[in-house]
Amino acid sequence: MADKLGNWKVNLRPMKAGGPFTMKISGKNEVKISDILVGEVWVCGGQSNMELPVGKINYADVELASANCAEIRLFQIPKTGSPVVKTDVNAEWKVSTADVVSEFSAVGYLFGKRLHDALGVPVGLIQNPWGGTPIEAFIPRDMMDTTKACADLLRRFDDKMSKYTDETLAQDIVEYQKWLKAGKPGELKYPPIDQRLGNKRPGNLFNGMVYPIAGFGIKGAIWYQGEANVMNPELYTSLFPMMIRAWRKHWGQGDFPFYWVQLANFKEKSELPQASNWAALREAQSKALALPHTGQAVIIDKGEVYNIHPRDKQAVANRLVRHALANEYGFQMVASSPTYQSMSIQKNKIIITFTNVDIGLCTFDVETLNGFAIAGKDQKFVWAKAEFEGKNKVVLYADEVNEPIAVRYGWADNPNSNIFDMNGLPVAPFRTDNWGGASEN
């Protein structure tokens, strides 16, 4: 039965994966919908690293050579910001071809292709990222309104929007055109958009790009985002799990699987241990693993010094899909990177024990264990000497620290860390202290 606005919904019994099928809908008239597939559907969300298309990654020509696949379908949601919820999007399912795939999310497509190859069933991928977007744009505004941690963020943005007018937008366009005519001097500028409908406003992308598809039958979601929130990791600690809970609530499918990519290494390497908001943001992402049915792909070894959009998206997809294959589809493989479990202090040494170790810990490229720092009560970190002990332990010490009490590993924008499981998964960055809180800078 349709409501007064003509909206209706039909829930079908679970069907065996396959197709293509034809659906016939009969009433006063008859409608036929053909070429329907039944299979696994995943949402692919985030910002620019999820948005980066296959055509712009390493070995794009090789990926596109095998992109024609009638059993993979792709759905790209247009970039739409709205202060009120939308109920529809102007998009359609497309068959996977080289032309379509070249413009589709590389992480999303490669994740889906690996699923299809492993499962042998149709796979549908829904892409809804928007580059440069902070996470608050993907969260319902009413949920943030009732959260104390969001009060300052919302107040500042509401004050900004109260002063933003059509004249403000017109002036921004004039200034941008002046910059173009002057030969684009100085800092890079982007074409102005109406900030009232933009991707920075809290709640806007939930309203325009998430709410319209909430309730569509999905298996789960993958996520790659965080760069736009790196200046406030402490708030991200609240916002990220809030977003996951909000999406699950609005989909009405319980705690569906939600897997994400931890931020990659980026910027120049530091010679000495130091504070890092990039490291703190990664920590905030890791804390969301406390939610059920979640997983994190660690790519602390796959970033690029001067490129915030690393082009090796194959490795990203490989690490993401392990979670889905192992946890949702029964494949026997370890999904997670080795993760800090506990530490013990023995005189001037600290012994770190890791969990999620598959084959055994090893170093990459050189024999020296790099990336560990230790500190005493003075909270001054120095690089530590490190040795493996058994399959899943590392012993740490430093001549400068007689009574160590804290350890950090991979704690930098671009850490010089090189510890892996022998299955190829890197050890996840961590710290045992909470000095400086979540936001260190």
- What DSSP string runs through 80-149? ---SS--S--S---EEE-HHHHHTSBHHHHHHHHHHHHHH-S-EEEEE---TT--GGGGS-HHHHHT-GG
Q: Are 270 and 226 in contact (CB under 8 A)?
A: no
Instruction: Calculate the dihedral angle through the C-alpha atoms of 299, 302, 303, 304, rounding to the nearest 10 degrees.
Output: 180
- pLDDT (tens digit per residue) in 354-388: 999 999 999 999 999 999 999 999 999 999 999 99
Give the tokens for residue 194. 């109406």
Share of the chain above pLDDT 70, in %: 99
* Residues sharing a CB contact under 8 Å with residue 301, sequence separation 6 or more, in sequence order: 265, 364, 417, 418, 420, 426
Answer whether residue 194 shows pLDDT above 60: yes
- Report the DSSP pairing between strands 430-431 and 406-409: antiparallel
Answer whether residue 34 shows pLDDT above 70: yes
Answer whether residue 440 shows pLDDT above 70: no
7 vs 411, more confident: 411
Average pLDDT, rounded, for the chain: 96
The pLDDT value recorded for residue 6 is 84
Instruction: Give how far Cα 312 sits from Cα of 54, 59, 265, 302, 400, Å.
Output: 10, 9, 13, 7, 39
Average pLDDT over residues 16-42: 95
Q: Is 7 left (phi over 0), alpha (psi -120 to 50) or beta?
A: beta
Which candidate, 91, 88, 80, 86, places its Cα nearest to that of 197? 80
| Measured distance CA(188)–CA(286) in Å, rounded | 33
Average pLDDT over residues 90-118: 98
Give the tokens for residue 79. 């970039």
Answer whether residue 438 shows pLDDT above 70: no
Share of the chain above pLDDT 90, in %: 94
Answer whether residue 278 shows pLDDT above 60: yes
Q: What is the CA radius of gyration of the chain?
A: 24
Q: Are 396 and 407 in contact (CB under 8 A)?
A: yes
Give the tokens for residue 412. 């930098």
- pLDDT (tens digit per residue) in 196-227: 999 999 999 999 999 999 999 999 999 999 99
pTM above 0.75, yes or no: yes
CB neighbours of residue 386 within 10 Å: 23
* Residues sharing a CB contact under 8 Å with residue 212, sequence separation 6 or more, in sequence order: 77, 86, 87, 88, 89
Answer whether residue 27 shows pLDDT above 80: yes
The pLDDT value recorded for residue 437 is 62
User: Of all helices (H) and strands (E), which one includes residue 71?
Assistant: strand 69-76
* Residues sharing a CB contact under 8 Å with residue 429, sequence separation 6 or more, in sequence order: 279, 282, 283, 298, 300, 409, 410, 411, 415, 417
| pLDDT band for position 436 (cuts 50, 70, 90) | confident
Taken in order 395, 401, 405, 411, is the CA torsion positive or negative?
Answer: negative
Of 2-6, 192-196, 328-332, the one with minimum mean pLDDT is 2-6
